Chain A
Amino acid sequence: AQSVTQPDIHITVSEGASLELRCNYSYGATPYLFWYVQSPGQGLQLLLKYFSGDTLVQGIKGFEAEFKRSQSSFNLRKPSVHWSDAAEYFCAVGSIFSGGSYIPTFGRGTSLIVHP
């Protein structure tokens, strides 16, 4: 069965420092991969997604992610973190459900804390 692992529950960084959030997936075929961000008490917003092609994907708010098939990873990066980036981040893999539809399966999330 498909699954997503985000090994870090919390990550703390200083404002201006670089960031990398880890995501590992388990899926038999070529995966569809997503990163979403959630501010407290709000819904989720898509940061970026990978379906095929260039393995380095650019997203909104200065985020990027790199798909590495050999490591089954899709880590999210940002070169310089802003205080407004503090939020919960979710990695997801598109999985086939009954009826043949792809539905994202979400990881447990990583909470990003930004120190001034």
Chain B
Amino acid sequence: DGGITQSPKYLFRKEGQNVTLSCEQNLNHDAMYWYRQDPGQGLRLIYYSQIVNDFQKGDIAEGYSVSREKKESFPLTVTSAQKNPTAFYLCASSLNRGTDTQYFGPGTRLTVL
């Protein structure tokens, strides 16, 4: 089955630690995205990538980093510089442009202890 997988579903980390969230897609999509979701705030764009080895900052990129070494993978690292990292993180992909339908993964809930 084609789709997007995110792992793990739940993640706990201690304050001051970096943590990497996984996102993999087998839809052969060029574009991939990372969103952060907080209660009552909708989705906010962290980073996006239109092509391998290239990515752009979104609205709230500070304290996050990404890589796009392979078409099917777009991992997100939440660094210790992120002041309030506890949130629900969603990865998405689309065929090419932003006007194409985005397909979302099931999300990772990160909690900082």
From B48, B92, B104, B107, give the contact of A101 (CB < 8 A): B48
* Complexed CA–CA distance, A107 and B40 (Å): 9
Q: Does B84 contact A (CB under 8 A)?
A: no
Total interface residues on A, CB under 8 Å, equals: 25
Render A26-41 as a binary contact track against B, CB cut-off 8 A, 1 for contact: 0000001000100001
Render A42-75 as a binary contact track against B, CB cut-off 8 A, 1 for contact: 1111100101000000000000000000000000
* Complexed CA–CA distance, A44 and B6 (Å): 13
From B57, B106, B109, give the contact of A43 (CB < 8 A): B106
From B41, B42, B48, B109, give the contact of A103 (CB < 8 A): B48
Q: Which of B13-21, B70-78, B95-103 has 4 or more CB atoms under 8 Å from chain A?
A: B95-103
List CB contacts (< 8 Å) of B78-113 with chain A.
Answer: 90, 92, 97-99, 101-107, 109
Indicate if the CB atoms of B106 and A9 lie closer than 8 Å. Answer: no
From A43, A49, A109, give the contact of B105 (CB < 8 A): A43
Indicate if the CB atoms of B104 and A45 lie closer than 8 Å. Answer: yes
From B56, B99, B109, give the contact of A98 (CB < 8 A): B56
**Inter-chain contact count A-B, CB under 8 Å?**
67
Which label, helix, strand, loop or mixed, suits the secondary structure of the B interface?
Answer: strand
* Complexed CA–CA distance, A90 and B102 (Å): 13
Render B62-74 as a binary contact track against A, CB cut-off 8 A, 1 for contact: 0000000000000
21 contacts between A and B (CB under 8 A): A32-B98, A32-B99, A43-B4, A43-B90, A44-B43, A44-B90, A45-B104, A46-B102, A94-B98, A94-B99, A97-B48, A98-B56, A98-B57, A101-B50, A102-B98, A102-B99, A104-B98, A105-B45, A106-B42, A107-B42, A108-B40
